[in-house]
Amino acid sequence: MERSLQITVTTRTRASTIAGFAALGLIALGLVLPAFASRSLIQDLFFILTMLTLAQLWNLIAGYGGMVSVGQQAFVGIGAYAMFAGVILWGWDPVPAILLGGVAAFLLAIPMAFFAFRLQGAYFAIGTWVIAEVTRLIIAQWKTLGGGTGTSLPREATSDIIGVATIANLFDLRDAAARDVLAYWLALALAVGTMAAIYALLRSRNGLALTALRDNDNAARSIGVDAGRLKWLVFLAAATMTGIVGALIYMQTARISPDAAFSVTSWTAYVIFIVVIGGIGRLEGPIVGVLVFWGLQTAFADYGSWYLLALGLLAIAVMLFAPRGLWGLIADRTGLALFPVQRRLTVTTKGAENA
Amino acid sequence: MIWLDTIVQGLLLGGLYALFAAGLSLVFGIMRLVNLAHGDMIILAAFIVLVVVEATGLNPFLSALIAAPALFAFGWALQWFVFNRVLGKDILPPLLVTFGLSIALQNGMLEVFSADSQRLRAGALESASVDLGVVTVGIMPLLTFASAVVVIFALNQIFYRTALGRAFRATSDDPVTASLMGINPRSVFAMATGLAMVIVTIAALYLGMRSNFDPSIGPARLIFAFEAVIIGGLGSLWGTLIGGAIIGVAQTVGAQINPEWQILAGHLAFLAVLLVRPRGLFPRAVD
């Protein structure tokens, strides 16, 4: 009697199916939310969604790609400035000008990767930081966009953004509130799109190769993973998206300065804390992290630097006692994975009759 | 003559950057730990020296001498209780812990010492200068540079002439084999970080006497220090001095052309070196 083994690869779990439907429900709720939510809730959600997107992107390059960049503020800043340039210098509408932010960040990421990829590990971190500083110092020389003191989006540009009038009519809102709704929807689309793209990448061949590289560089190369190509791909993609998020954040703020747009604290330190506290190297981590971060910020922001001091100490404590973050603690106890990327082999034996 | 003067000023400024970098280089060389809080530790040390000055009325040099043992203990404890727990093959945990420490230190100092600019007063020494014929240089920059040379010379002596240095080198090469020979890598690491904090105290002394400082300027000092280390090449302390000098000269020359270009010129010099020699000018250790 001959028997053949049939091997199937699955990543789906029961929890992930439920999580998938829950996510769809949440997205639908998110879309209709502006119809009944207060303006301050919409603004809070805008903050949460943009920080979540930045955190997922950093998690992709550091947590999965093993590239610990401390220079992501370069892409936020250059993206925001490119959007301002599109609006102020060339008279673009702010919404399509957001895409300029992505283009600018992509163009900056090429030389940045060229330099930084010559550096390993910690050197890489500092190298990216130096390049972000260089970008900030150069942008601060750009006098038509306000130089070192910065500038604002002109009133004419912000008053007739595409879609704002429609939203204002639809929900019976003032223009300013309608602008917040528009920014919120764009942030929702970016957050969902980014997470879907990262999840799709991680479940693909390239994603497997990427995590293999992170876990053991030499072993991955020895079985034919093209390390250089993958790192470029992930770094450029994350940079482009970070630039788009930066442009969106500053479309909503409508006021920019080099120190704010290239702030290592706002766009890299906070993002790193979100990822570390939530759980690095997992898609669920930044979601937990951003909720904790937002909760702490809402509760303690009045305490100013005491709050930041505590945040720094919290990150240290998490690294010491729960290096895989809060989600790591949950997953270790329950085995729960909402966005599973682990491949499990199921072996079924088929008995073949009459040999 | 203006250019010669600019270059000499830059070289002397490089001494200060080499002092910033020496502690970083020591810790990185021995345990591959990148301390992203190094710049903030320099500022912390400057504030502690200031506290001693104000409490005792002594001059900054003697105050630094009093502060140094306390900072050694701080570094030793930090390594023993925190950094040793996260050192390993993965570079991410130590990087993130020191990043958290950096933010915590900056904001802690902001609460305790306020955002006001401070300075260590050194009296007549601050403005004294000496005429070297072709150029006139300040006593203070000269003293800074000389101190950098002395610190690096002393570190080299410790490394190659003492039992502690032997333990440093052995642990750096192979912690497992070193521990078979009766060395406790954890305690060697703690000694190294303690020693690095003593160097940090010296760097802080000159930083504080040369210019104003406040809790927010640490990260920029970290970047200068790192650039000096990378330009010099891993494991080469004299290389670090040359790296510091290159950054210093690039900054003063840049500032001479346009005052807004000072910092930018330093960074660009760093990137240029990186482009030509990715492992630095005098790499000794293999990373």
pLDDT of residue A1: 52
B285 touches A: beta carbon within 8 Å: no
Kindly calculate the radius of gyration of chain A based on its CA atoms and give it in whole angstroms: 22
pLDDT of residue A262: 94
Whole-angstrom distance, CA of residue B115 vs CA of residue B40: 14
pLDDT (mean) for A205-210: 87
- Subunit contact A323:B85, Cβ cutoff 8 A: no
Q: Choosing among A133, A305, A314, which should be mutated to test the B contact, i.e. which has the most B CBs within 10 A? A: A305
User: What DSSP assignment string belongs to A205-218?
Assistant: HHHHHHHHHHH-HH
Q: Which of B97, B103, B230 has its CB closest to that of A123? A: B230
Q: What secondary structure letter does DSSP report for A324?
A: T
pLDDT of residue A203: 86
Whole-angstrom distance, CA of residue B106 vs CA of residue A269: 13
| Run of H or E including A256 | strand A255-256
A95-139 pLDDT, tens digit each:
999 999 999 999 999 999 998 888 877 788 888 999 999 999 999
Do A325 and A285 contact (CB within 8 A), yes or no? yes
Q: Which of B86, B105, B268 has its CB closest to that of A134? A: B268
- Subunit contact A68:B95, Cβ cutoff 8 A: yes
pLDDT of residue A331: 84
* Residue A71 phi, psi (nearest 5): -120, 20
pTM: 0.89
Indicate the pLDDT class of residue A355, thresholds 50, 70 and 90.
very low
List chain B residues with CB under 8 Å of A127: 274
pLDDT of residue A153: 87
Indicate the pLDDT class of residue A38, thresholds 50, 70 and 90.
confident
Q: Which of A62, A306, A313 has its CB closest to that of B111? A: A306
DSSP β-ladder status, B129-131 and B136-138? antiparallel
Whole-angstrom distance, CA of residue A150 vs CA of residue A255: 8
**pLDDT of A351 over the 60 cut:** no
pLDDT of residue A2: 59
* Residue A4 phi, psi (nearest 5): -120, 145
B224 touches A: beta carbon within 8 Å: no
CA angle B287, A321, A336 (to 5 degrees): 105
**pLDDT of A304 over the 80 cut:** no
Least confident of A157-161, A202-206, B164-168: A157-161
Torsion angle, CA of B227/B233/B234/B235, rounded to 10 degrees?
-120
Is residue A153 classed as helix, strand or coil in its secondary structure?
Answer: coil
Residue stretches of chain B with pLDDT short of 50: 287
pLDDT of residue B221: 92
pLDDT of residue B286: 52
A180-195 pLDDT, tens digit each:
999 999 999 999 999 9
**Which residues is B136 bridged to in the sheet?**
B131
Whole-angstrom distance, CA of residue B65 vs CA of residue A300: 39
**pLDDT of A229 over the 80 cut:** yes
**pLDDT of A342 over the 80 cut:** no
pLDDT of residue B94: 87
Go through chain A and tell me how many residues it has: 355
pLDDT of residue A286: 94
A14 CB contacts (<8 Å, ≥6 apart)?
none
